[in-house]
Structure 1
Amino acid sequence: MSHMIWKGAISFGLVHVPVQLYPATQSEKVGFNLLDKRSIDPIGYRQINKRTGKEVTRDNIVRGFEYEKDRYVVLSDEEIRSANPESTQTVDILAFVEAPEISFLYLDTPYFLAPDRKGEKVYALLREALKASGKIGVANVVLHNKQHLAALVPVGSVLALNTLRWADEVRDYNELKLPSEDPKKAGVTARELDMAKKLIDDMSDSWDPSAYHDTFRDDIMTLVDRKIRAGKTEEITDVETPRESRQSAEILDLSDLLKRSLGRGKGKAGGRSQAAQDDDEAEEPATPRRRKAGTTKRAGGASARPAAARTTASRKDAPARKRSAA
């Protein structure tokens, strides 16, 4: 289990729920150390005085608030904590709101809250009351000397605390050049909208986070393992030039694009519709010149499937492979 990083209480009205805070996520990103390529020695992180260029020890580092250009007010950790000592020890609930009202744009970092000091009963009471109401708590909390807005959310048997971004931290999308919300003004026809909704329905599935993987990290770890087994731990090897990704044909007719897409996603029965198969057959090159570019001859004289058809088949099988791997 991860280490506890904070201890305090959830507070709403006169109720206090003693809790301990734990991180709810862990980083699985690929990390690299900086090395001296001449000796493979690690390159350390030095904290340097930007004016003198000299290294500064941790004992001589303080926090400063820049109130004017290059002018600071120095604050100690004790002064920062004393500014509002009550808020540093509580998840102070300000209101309860319907969960869908909080946009995912505001979600930041999740944590777990566990009961502390014989607070199991009141913890369970709050958790079950939130479940029954369908609401979540909006609260203030101070973590790492910084105040956060947060959402208190029941997740199974645990209460999760998800820090939220402040309103001025989320940019106004009205600054962007966007098509009209009126489909007609945006040039979207009713037929195109119906096909798009059908495509979404065909590709709909229940949420299973284990079905999705960081393929970049997987590929890097495979490469690292292969170099370790080959004894090439300190060598840079030549890499083949990546093949240029296949560009799809430019299809100017949105209806045609949607029609071709239908059935290529995951259908409810796991198969492709006859209409989609008919579309693929219609895409087969019709002239000798196009066939030469799209097909190859096997030793027996039979034509191999076009690359587009092979790619389509691999895409269709991809969701099944993910589920079986999970």
Structure 2
Amino acid sequence: MPISHKGAISFGLVHIPVALHTATQDNDIRFNQLCKSDLSRVRYKKVCAGCGAEVTSNADIVKGFEYDKDQYVVITDEDFEKIKTERDRSIQILHFTDLASIRPIYYDKTYHVLPEAGGERAFSLLWRAMLDEQKVAIGKTVLGTKETLLCILPTDSGLLIETLFFADEIRSLPREVNLPEPAEQELAMAKTLISSMDRPFEPAAYHDEYQARLRKLIEDKIAGREVVTPAAEAPGNVVDLMQALKASIEQQGKKPQRAPRKKGAS
């Protein structure tokens, strides 16, 4: 797994050399854009607006900030590095907190955190202390050209880092909604339905079913087979909220209960 970032976690006066590895991957099926008339690939070129020539090498491209109409100041990689402080080059733990205090809307991207050579002992100490105290750490660092807010989370086997959005990057609700107070009987039924559907989260139990159907669609078209539309599920005729809740609870009761997992099963 390639390293996304190298640095150090600063924990008081303790510095722990670490490397961040991207923890997730995109498994979506990719499509190319084709010209409708002859199915040739549609390609995009980088063209200089001044001379009209195609720019084929990244070495011929620089970063520029437009400070006035068509007026740019060029910022080089060396310029970016010059303004970084030592604190920017490490992951500074600002404080510790409870995981429940962070709203899910702030989470962005996940990284595995691994100690670099010489940092194993301090890494283990930080991990175990956070795990025992059931705390996560809030920190900051500069990734690329952007200061990034971070949450360091202990897991059963090590540490994860979640990049977080800053408060001014979170959009407010597009409009306020006045929610009616639910009837007591309906609320009790809804809680019963939740209880009947309550079970542990097991990641391996969930699969991207649409991607599987999309892959079969592609295979069928390649083989010249007819694409068959799945049978539509019969729509429910229940319009009353209480009836819908009762029917949902009855439906859950008819489903076979999953056998309890054996100890040690993964």
Per the normalisation by structure 2, the TM-score is: 0.86
Q: Amino acid of the residue matched to residue 195 of structure 2?
A: D
What's the counterpart of residue 303 of structure 1?
Answer: none
Is 1:29 matched up with 2:34?
Answer: no
Aligned-partner Cα distance in 1 for 2:171–2:158 = 32
**Aligned with 1:224 (options 209, 218, 223):** 218
What's the counterpart of residue 17 of structure 2?
Answer: 18
What's the counterpart of residue 111 of structure 1?
Answer: 111
Is 1:6 matched up with 2:5?
Answer: yes
Q: Amino acid of the residue matched to residue 121 of structure 1?
A: R
What's the counterpart of residue 300 of structure 1?
Answer: none
Aligned-residue offset at 1:243: 6.4
Is 1:73 matched up with 2:60?
Answer: no
Aligned-residue offset at 1:73: 2.6
Between Structure 1 and Structure 2, how many residues are aligned? 259
Aligned-partner Cα distance in 2 for 1:88–1:41 = 47
Is 1:262 matched up with 2:249?
Answer: yes
Higher Rg? 1
What's the counterpart of residue 206 of structure 1?
Answer: 200
Instruction: State whether residues 217 and 227 of structure 2, in contact with CA within 8 Å, keep that contact through their aligned partners in structure 1.
Output: no
Aligned-residue offset at 1:43: 3.8
Aligned-partner Cα distance in 1 for 2:231–2:193 = 30
Aligned-partner Cα distance in 2 for 1:220–1:101 = 39
Aligned-partner Cα distance in 1 for 2:52–2:185 = 66
**Aligned with 2:209 (options 200, 211, 215):** 215
Fraction of identical pairs, as percent: 36
Aligned-partner Cα distance in 2 for 1:88–1:225 = 49
How has the CA–CA distance of structure 1 residues 241 and 131 changed in structure 2, closer, same or farther, with 3 Å as cutoff?
closer
SS in 2 for 1:30: coil
Per the normalisation by structure 1, the TM-score is: 0.71
Instruction: State whether residues 221 and 227 of structure 2, in contact with CA within 8 Å, keep that contact through their aligned partners in structure 1.
Output: no
**Aligned with 1:249 (options 237, 241, 247):** 237
Aligned-residue offset at 1:179: 2.8
Q: CA RMSD in A?
A: 2.7
* 5+ long unaligned stretches in structure 2: none
SS in 2 for 1:199: helix
* 5+ long unaligned stretches in structure 1: 181-185, 266-270, 273-315
What's the counterpart of residue 151 of structure 1?
Answer: 151
Q: Amino acid of the residue matched to residue 124 of structure 1?
A: S
What is the CA deviation profile of residues 250-300 of structure 1, one whole-angstrom value per residue up to 9, with x for unaligned ones? 61x3222212211223xxxxx43xxxxxxxxxxxxxxxxxxxxxxxxxxxx
What is the CA deviation profile of residues 221-274 of structure 1, one whole-angstrom value per residue up to 9, with x for unaligned ones? 22233444x2x5xxxx875677666443361x3222212211223xxxxx43xx
Instruction: State whether residues 17 and 117 of structure 2, in contact with CA within 8 Å, keep that contact through their aligned partners in structure 1.
Output: yes
SS in 1 for 2:97: strand
Is 1:125 matched up with 2:125?
Answer: yes
Aligned-partner Cα distance in 1 for 2:30–2:230 = 23
Is 1:170 matched up with 2:170?
Answer: yes
How has the CA–CA distance of structure 1 residues 138 and 38 changed in structure 2, closer, same or farther, with 3 Å as cutoff?
same
Q: Amino acid of the residue matched to residue 215 of structure 1?
A: E
Aligned-partner Cα distance in 1 for 2:228–2:157 = 50
What is the CA deviation profile of residues 7-41 of structure 1, one whole-angstrom value per residue up to 9, with x for unaligned ones? 11001211100111111111111211234566655
Aligned-residue offset at 1:60: 2.3
What's the counterpart of residue 92 of structure 1?
Answer: 92
Task: Identify which of structures 1 and 2 has the higher relative contact order when contacts are C-alpha pairs closer than 8 Å and 6+ apart.
Answer: 2
Aligned-partner Cα distance in 1 for 2:124–2:235 = 55
How has the CA–CA distance of structure 1 residues 218 and 61 changed in structure 2, closer, same or farther, with 3 Å as cutoff?
same
What is the CA deviation profile of residues 120-145 of structure 1, one whole-angstrom value per residue up to 9, with x for unaligned ones? 11100000011011111111122222
Aligned-partner Cα distance in 1 for 2:232–2:200 = 34
Aligned-partner Cα distance in 2 for 1:240–1:220 = 12
SS in 2 for 1:5: strand
Q: Amino acid of the residue matched to residue 113 of structure 1?
A: V
Q: Amino acid of the residue matched to residue 89 of structure 2?
A: Q
Aligned-residue offset at 1:192: 0.5
Q: Amino acid of the residue matched to residue 76 of structure 1?
A: T
Aligned-residue offset at 1:52: 6.0
